[in-house]
Amino acid sequence: MRIIFMGTSELSVIILEALVEAGYEIVDVYTRADKPAGRGRKPTPPPVKEACLRLGLPVYQPATLRNPEEVERVKGLKPDLAVLAAYGRLIPAEMLDIPPLAWLNVHPSLLPRYRGPSPIIAPILEGDRETGVTIFVLEEAMDTGPILAQRSVPVSSEDTGETLSQKLARLGAELLLEAIPRWAKGETEPQPQDHSQATYTHIIKKEEGRIDWSRSAVELWRQVRAFQPWPGAYTTWKGRLVKILACEPILSPVDGEPGRVLLVPDTRHAGASLPAVQTGQGLLVLRTVQLEGRRALGAVEFVRGERDFTVSRLGD
C-alpha cells in the first residue's frame, strides 16, 4: 500500500513512526515550512521533517497546496491512501478523490466534539474527564467527515497539554493501524457525525496565556495545565513576567483582591508553607514558578530568594 503522509507536530511523528514500523510504504511526507526560532531566529525544521531525515523518508514542504501543480504532484505519486495527523493545512477538494482509499485524518478528540485546531487543549480547559481519538474520512469541510474508528481515554487531574498530546498520539497510532487494514478490505462502514453536537476550537495565541486573576482558581489551574508547553500561563510581578508551571486550587472562601499573594500551609509537607494567589473564587497555590530570565524553581525556594513576593500583588 502506497501512503502519502501529511503532518507537522510531535504528535504527527509518533503516528508516522508507527506506519513505518508496521511496514507501510511511505511514498512522500508533506510537512510545513521551517520556522525561525530562538533568539537568533534561525530557521528550525518542524518535528516531522527531523523525523524524516532520521528515518530516511522523502520530505516535501510546499508553501501552499492550492495550485494545479500540487494536485498533479499528488496524482503522480499514485497513492493508495493518504493519512493526515496535525498537518495544519486544509486539503483542496481537487486532491480528495485521488487516493482510491481516500484520506484518513487522525484527530485527537471525540468528534464531533472539539473540531478545529486546538482539540488537545480544549478538554483540559473545559474540565472534561475524558477525551479520545477519531479516525475519519476527510471531506472538504473541516473535521466533518464520517467516522471509521473512535476510542476514548481518561483526562487525569495531572495531565498537561504535553502529557495529553503524548497519550493521544500513542492511542491515535494504535487506532490507525487497526483501522487501515479493515478499511482497505471493505470491512468498515463509515458512520456520519451528528453535526448538531459539534463544538469548535480556535487557534491559540500567545497572549491567551496571560492569567486573569479575577477568574476562579479552578479555571486558572486548568489554564496552567492546558497551556504547557505552549503558550504557557504567565503573570507579571514588579514589571517582569512570571510563568506558573505547577499549581493547585483551594476552594475555601477568602477575602481580598484578586492577584494578592499570601502564604498558606503546604498540605503535602507538615510545617511548610507555600505562596498562594487570591482569585475571583478560591486560592491558587503555586508549586513551581519561573521568573523571567531565571530557571524554574519550586515555589518554596523562589519565595526564599524573593521575600517580598508574598506581600505583593500579581498582574499589575
Q: Is 311 in contact with 276 (CB distance < 8 Å)?
A: no
Other residues' Cβ atoms within 10 Å of the Cβ of residue 315: 17
C-alpha cell at 208: 491567551
> How far is C-alpha 267 from the geometric centre of its chain's CA atoms?
31
Enumerate domains of the chain plus CATH numbers: 2-197 (3.40.50.170), 206-311 (3.10.25.10)
Distance (Å, rounded) from C-alpha 300 to C-alpha 181?
54
pTM of the model: 0.94
Question: pLDDT at position 182, please?
Answer: 97
Burial of 251 (0-12, 13-18, 19+ CB in 10 A): exposed
Instruction: Tell me what pLDDT residue 272 has.
Output: 78
Binned at pLDDT 50, 70 and 90, residue 163 comes out as: very high
pLDDT at 43: 87
Kindly tell me if the per-residue pLDDT of 40 is higher than 80.
Answer: no
pLDDT surpasses 90 at 265: no
Phi, psi of 95 (to 5 degrees): -90, -20
Residue 15 has pLDDT above 90, yes or no: yes
Dihedral sign (CA 217, 204, 297, 129): positive
The percent of residues above 90 in pLDDT, for the chain, comes to 91
CA distance 107 to 133: 6
Instruction: For residues 149-166, give the mean pLDDT.
Output: 97
Of residues 139 and 256, more confidently modeled: 139
**What average pLDDT does range 231-256 have in this prediction?**
92
- Complete DSSP assignment for 112-164: TTTBSS-TTHHHHHHT-SEEEEEEEE--SSTT-SPEEEEEEEE--TT--HHHH
Q: Is the peptide bond before 92 cis (omega within 30 degrees of 0)?
A: no
Rounded to the nearest angstrom, the gap between the alpha carbon of residue 79 and the centroid of all alpha carbons in its chain is 29
- With a cut of 90, say whether residue 269 has pLDDT above it: no
CA neighbours closer than 13 Å in the CB half-sphere of residue 63: 1
Q: What is the mean pLDDT of residues 222-234?
A: 97
Predicted confidence at residue 268, as pLDDT, reads 79
Per-residue pLDDT tens digits for 272-310? 789 999 999 999 999 999 999 999 999 999 999 998 999
